[in-house]
């Protein structure tokens, strides 16, 4: 984990970001793979480029860290990066969005198409609504406009 912290510091320093708080936790909820949860605390000015435009910069940083961290042992685990609790807050929003979409589908009996979102966010919605036996979700469209349609189970 120290190697990952050093890698993060080096990447951010090259971007001109020197003040960062790094917290790394292990999550073993998946039986065969370990997930590293990396929480970064940045000044709002430094965090802004990572979180703009649907957090594309955050996803890019996560991908880069995943490649660098697991290049010697591909497929060994997962890595999730969060900056200033953005993902936690986004997951709370997505959870509420999914619940309201399911309620609307039940009320109107018509499918509801959600806004385009990243693969990670679509997966979160699919898993959230999988708990409802009367609701089905499906991803449609092509990236970057891929979105979820929520409908009643046939």
Residue 3 is predicted with a pLDDT of 87
Tens digit of each residue's pLDDT (9 = 90 or more) over 7-34: 999 999 999 999 999 999 988 765 566 7
If you search the block for the tokens 């039986």, which residue do you land on? 31
Sequence ranges of the domains in the chain: 2-84, 88-152
Instruction: Return the percentage of the chain with pLDDT > 70, whole number.
Output: 94
Are domains 2-84 and 88-152 of this chain identical in fold? no
Query: 88-152: which CATH architecture?
Result: 2-Layer Sandwich (3.30)
Q: Is 33 helix (H, G, I), strand (E, B) or coil?
A: coil
- Burial group, residue 111, by CB count within 10 angstroms (0-12, 13-18, 19+): middle
Token pair belonging to 60: 């890019």
Topology classification of domain 2-84: GMP Synthetase; Chain A, domain 3 (3.30.300)
pLDDT at 35 over 70: yes
Mean residue pLDDT across the chain: 91
pLDDT at 63 over 70: yes
C-alpha separations of 133 from 10, 97, 102, 130, 145 in Å: 47, 18, 11, 7, 27
């Amino acid at each position: 984990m120290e190697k990952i912290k050093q890698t993060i510091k080096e990447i951010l320093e090259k971007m001109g970001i020197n003040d960062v708080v790094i917290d790394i936790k292990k999550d073993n909820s998946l039986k065969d793979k370990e997930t590293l949860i990396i929480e970064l605390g940045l000044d709002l000015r430094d965090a802004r480029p990572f979180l703009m435009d649907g957090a594309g910069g955050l996803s890019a940083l996560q991908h880069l860290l995943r490649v660098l961290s697991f290049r010697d042992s591909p497929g060994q685990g997962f890595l999730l990066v969060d900056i200033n609790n953005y993902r936690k807050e986004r997951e709370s929003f997505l959870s509420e969005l999914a619940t309201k979409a399911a309620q609307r589908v039940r009320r109107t009996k018509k499918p509801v198409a959600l806004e385009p979102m990243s693969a990670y966010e679509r997966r979160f919605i699919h898993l959230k609504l999988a708990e409802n036996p009367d609701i089905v979700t499906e991803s449609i469209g092509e990236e970057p406009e891929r979105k979820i349609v929520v409908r009643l189970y046939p």
